[in-house]
Amino acid sequence: MTRNNWLSYFWKILWIIGLIVLARLSFSYEIQIKQSANETFSLIPLIWFKLIVSIVFGLYLSLIFVKKWTFNINPSLLWCISIPALLLSFTYPTLAYVKDLPELIANSSILYWLINVTSSSNIFGIVAGLSLILSLFNDSRSYGD
């Protein structure tokens, strides 16, 4: 094997080690946030923490997909995937501040659906982080634009 091939394996192994470290740090910090939430009876920091962690994991996941680190914007990926995913991921934490949320949910079936979708999984944050880096640094021609 050539030196370049070994270097490729090294970066992939380093990436997986970084993923393990990132997961360990996020889980230990989540335990601290949960303990604080139990003491203060405020779930808002936990909600924001889950959002930030999902975006960070999406950003970290994107590191394995970027082939060339040259700033090259893919506008369709940015405007059609990244920005809507960011907006959807920020919906639930933002609505957690609304005082009359139960009334609003009862009166709006779309808002009820949106809160159920955005609060049940962190997929929008992961997609937002992943697509944001790919839309900024990947070659737009690779997506058929």
Amino acid 109: pLDDT: 74
Amino acid 101: pLDDT: 66
Amino acid 42: pLDDT: 87
Count the neighbouring beta carbons within 10 Å of the beta carbon of residue 9: 10
φ and ψ at residue 96, rounded to 5 degrees: -65, -20
Amino acid 96: pLDDT: 79
Query: Which tens digits make up the pLDDT trace of 15-52?
Result: 999 999 999 999 999 999 999 999 999 889 999 999 99
CA dist., res. 6 & res. 144, Å (int): 31
Triad 18, 124, 83: Cα angle to 5°? 105
Residue-range domain boundaries for the chain: 3-143
Two structure tokens written together for 141:
């021609």
CA dist., res. 65 & res. 74, Å (int): 15
Query: Which tens digits make up the pLDDT trace of 75-129?
Result: 999 999 999 999 999 988 888 787 666 676 667 777 777 777 777 778 999 999 9
CA dist., res. 47 & res. 51, Å (int): 6
Amino acid 106: pLDDT: 62
Amino acid 99: pLDDT: 67
- Where is pLDDT greater, at 120 or 132? 132
Report the predicted TM-score, pTM, of the whole model to 2 decimal places. 0.85
Asked if residue 87 lies in contact with residue 19, where contact means CB atoms within 8 angstroms, the answer is no
Amino acid (one-letter) located at 98: V
Two structure tokens written together for 24:
């360990």
**Residue 139: which pLDDT band, with cuts at 50, 70 and 90?**
low
